[in-house]
């Protein structure tokens, strides 16, 4: 039942969640999608999958022509994974684990600045999300991919807290960088992602901003659900 007095079914919206790395986007986006019965789409995973494929094929991170061609021809597939997670396949190959390394994260940030790459992946993301009923997380969803998204969030957290969260993620997958290294990587990625010419990371003017530094996951998701419910 919807809260609508006419009894109409709630609209299935496009929900954009943008923000810097380590802000908690993936965790809350997954939980929000589950709570709403929406599809979760991790656009960073597409840039990561492209970067990982390029690395495995020996394509340099600044070879725009080859990377653009690769971005236009790769076939992405997402499948539900354990614990509300998602498995990512490119051209039928399961790349879920390999795309989470810090090396692939840095390479994804580099290739994502290239216009030919952005054109291809932005087009694919629009195709995947156009029907609504999606929670899409990334850097430019509310500004470029779906500037007319019905709901936009900009999720941020203090750099120290983002560093600690990212360190926990990397440790869980067996990497053991120091907190200092993780913080430096995050600062570098923030700088690259927010100063590039095309689709830089920035809050959309009409985004609801949430600072998750001192908030638990449930609290953030609850706040987001409240905003979504108002617009259904």
Answer yes or no whether residue 166 interacts with ligand DC by CB under 6 A: no
> Is 48 near ligand DC (CB under 6 A)?
yes
Of 16, 38, 189, 228, the residue at the interface with ligand DC (CB under 6 A) is 189
Closest-CA residue to 113 (of 22, 205, 50): 50
The answer to whether residue 120 forms part of the interface with ligand DC (CB under 6 A) is no
3-state secondary structure of 90: strand
Q: Which is nearer to ligand DC, 181 or 232 (CB)?
A: 181
Q: Rounded to an integer, what distance in angstroms lies between the CA atom of residue 68 and that of residue 54?
A: 11
Cα distance between residue 178 and residue 186, in whole Å: 13
CB of 8 to ligand DC, least distance (A): 32
- When the beta carbons of 20 and 36 are compared against ligand DC, the nearer one is 20
> Taking CB under 6 A as the rule, does residue 212 contact ligand DC?
no
Q: For ligand DC, which residue of 105, 129, 142, 163 counts as binding (CB under 6 A)?
A: 105
- Is residue 138 within the footprint of ligand DC (CB under 6 A)? yes
Q: Which of 137, 178, 183, 157 has its CA nearest to residue 43?
A: 137
Instruction: Specify which residues 77 forms β-bridges with.
Output: 89
In angstroms and rounded to an integer, the radius of gyration of the C-alpha atoms of the chain is 17
Enumerate binding residues for ligand DC (CB under 6 A): 21, 43-44, 47-48, 105, 108-109, 112, 138-141, 189, 193
């Amino acid at each position: 039942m919807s809260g609508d007095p006419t009894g109409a079914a709630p609209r299935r919206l496009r929900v954009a969640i943008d923000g810097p790395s380590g802000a908690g986007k993936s965790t809350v986006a997954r939980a929000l999608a589950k709570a709403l019965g929406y599809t979760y789409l991790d656009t960073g995973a597409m840039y990561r999958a492209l970067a990982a494929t390029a690395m495995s094929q020996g394509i340099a991170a600044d070879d725009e022509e080859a990377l653009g061609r690769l971005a236009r021809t790769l076939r992405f597939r997402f499948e539900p994974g354990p614990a509300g997670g998602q498995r990512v396949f490119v051209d039928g190959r399961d790349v879920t684990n390999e795309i989470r390394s810090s090396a692939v994260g840095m390479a994804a940030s580099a290739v994502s600045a290239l216009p030919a790459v952005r054109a291809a992946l932005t087009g694919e993301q629009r195709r995947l999300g156009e029907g609504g009923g999606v929670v899409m997380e990334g850097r430019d969803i509310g500004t470029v991919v779906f500037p007319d998204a019905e709901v936009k969030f900009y999720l941020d957290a203090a750099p120290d807290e983002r560093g600690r969260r990212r360190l926990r993620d990397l440790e869980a997958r067996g990497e053991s960088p120091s907190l200092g290294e993780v913080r430096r990587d995050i600062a570098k990625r923030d700088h690259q992602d927010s100063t590039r010419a095309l689709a830089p990371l920035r809050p959309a003017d009409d985004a609801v901003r949430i600072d998750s530094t001192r908030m638990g996951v449930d609290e953030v998701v609850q706040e987001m659900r409240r905003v979504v419910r108002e617009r259904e």
